[in-house]
Chains A and B, each alone.
Chain A
Amino acid sequence: MATKRVSVFKSVLAADEQFALRIRREMDERGVLVLNLIGSPGAGKTSLLEGSLRRCRFRAAVVEGDIATARDAERIASCGVPVVQINTKGGCHLEANLVSKALGAFELDKIDVIFIENVGNLVCPAEFDLGEDCKVAVCSTAEGADKPLKYPHLFHECKAVVLTKKDLSPYVRFDRELFWGDVEALNGKAVKIEVDNLTGEGIDTWLEWVEECLEQKRRP
């Protein structure tokens, strides 16, 4: 009996990356835009979607990742768009194999944009590729302005940062300059959007960005 050293050089997430690859390929072929919304519990992800779905001119669908309940999916369904719920049963992030199954429930030729609301968590959802076109960081003023530097991977990798609860900014003494300065330092390309989900302020700017992404994706 002998101990032997074996070289492997294999990605830990190789199996799940295959699912992500397949999702990306299929959505590219179909010209369907997929956005992966990531943010802490209560950041305002579902509220942002509710506001968007009521106003958007494209055909949307939503994948809702939640640890336990179907509450968010019910909120989305009442906006009249197709929604699939994924319960991660304790898991604190979505993985591509779960999303792949969920997407099978949609009539994809009737959809332009799929929003994936990831499980409320600023850390690990950033680590898992779901086959999306872009990750979007959703962060509220109430969480404090220091979040980008504390969770650099998400803010570095996302294509857009949506700052929610703009209306609460004066009450929580939110340091806007610090927040956007840190976002800029981590990610010079990220689009910066501020919204108040309760009044709908800023939602049009956000939707314009989504439409731009969709157009870009479909441009021959």
Chain B
Amino acid sequence: MHEMSLVEAILESLVPLCVENRWRKIERVVLRIGSLRQVIPEALVFCFEAASSGTPLADASIEIKEVPIRQKCASCGLEWEGEVPLGRCSGCRSVEVETIAGLELEIEALEVLENGDEKG
């Protein structure tokens, strides 16, 4: 259950950002999460709802964009996508494979409500 740790990290980074920019609140958080990261989206949303109350992110919705695992062979240049990472290139059998996507844990974008200068 590292989802709670991720949520805490998200709040620790976004609450100050919200204050600095004088936003009224953050309404939507878009995350990019690599499939290798073993994050359960429902668990993350559940933790977020519990932990965000009382912060400017209290009513924010979470959008999770899952990034598939993508690997590249450093020997022959072959690239592929898959559900599980491979330890060996299926083309040339080299073990020099790099994971080029699937490890993301990123805050990509936000939708924020600005502090308008409305009267009353």
A149 in the interface (beta carbon within 8 A): yes
A124 adjacent to B88 (CB under 8 Å) = no
B5 adjacent to A149 (CB under 8 Å) = no
Closest partner residue, chain A, to B93 (CB atom): A188
Instruction: Return chain B residues, CB-CB under 8 Å to A102.
Output: none
CA distance A124 to B95 in the complex (A): 25
With A1-B118, A12-B9 known to touch, is A156 a contact of B36 (CB < 8 Å)?
yes
Instruction: Return chain B residues, CB-CB under 8 Å to A15.
Output: 9, 12-13
Size of A's binding interface in residues, CB under 8 A: 38
CA distance A153 to B114 in the complex (A): 40
CA distance A183 to B118 in the complex (A): 61
B112 adjacent to A126 (CB under 8 Å) = no
A124 adjacent to B1 (CB under 8 Å) = yes
A11 adjacent to B106 (CB under 8 Å) = yes
A16 in the interface (beta carbon within 8 A): yes
B100 in the interface (beta carbon within 8 A): no
Closest partner residue, chain B, to A156 (CB atom): B85
With A15-B13, A127-B37, A127-B38 known to touch, is A10 a contact of B88 (CB < 8 Å)?
no
A170 CB, min distance to chain B CBs, angstroms? 28
A95 adjacent to B5 (CB under 8 Å) = yes
Q: Which of A92, A186, A188, A189 contacts B2 (CB 8 A)?
A: A92
With A12-B6, A91-B5 known to touch, is A186 a contact of B106 (CB < 8 Å)?
no
Instruction: Return chain B residues, CB-CB under 8 Å to A9.
Output: 106-109
A149 adjacent to B37 (CB under 8 Å) = no
In the complex, per-residue mask of A93-110: 1 if CB is within 8 Å of any chain B CB, else 0: 101000000000000000
Instruction: Return chain B residues, CB-CB under 8 Å to A186.
Output: 84-87
A7 adjacent to B87 (CB under 8 Å) = no
Instruction: Return chain A residues, CB-CB under 8 Å to B85.
Output: 152-153, 156, 186
A189 adjacent to B6 (CB under 8 Å) = no
Instruction: Return chain A residues, CB-CB under 8 Å to B22.
Output: none
CA distance A128 to B6 in the complex (A): 10
Q: Give residues 11-27 of B contacting A (CB, 8 Å).
A: 12-13, 24, 27
CA distance A92 to B87 in the complex (A): 27
Closest partner residue, chain B, to A10 (CB atom): B107
Closest partner residue, chain A, to B95 (CB atom): A188
Closest partner residue, chain B, to A190 (CB atom): B87
With A186-B86, A188-B88 known to touch, is A124 a contact of B38 (CB < 8 Å)?
yes
B113 adjacent to A153 (CB under 8 Å) = no
CA distance A3 to B112 in the complex (A): 5
CA distance A3 to B118 in the complex (A): 14
In the complex, per-residue mask of A126-161: 1 if CB is within 8 Å of any chain B CB, else 0: 111000000000000000000001011100100000
Q: What are 26 of the A-B contact pairs (CB < 8 Å)? A: A1-B113, A3-B112, A7-B108, A9-B107, A9-B108, A9-B109, A11-B107, A12-B6, A12-B13, A13-B6, A91-B5, A93-B2, A123-B2, A124-B38, A126-B38, A127-B37, A128-B2, A149-B84, A152-B36, A152-B85, A153-B85, A156-B87, A156-B99, A184-B87, A184-B88, A188-B95
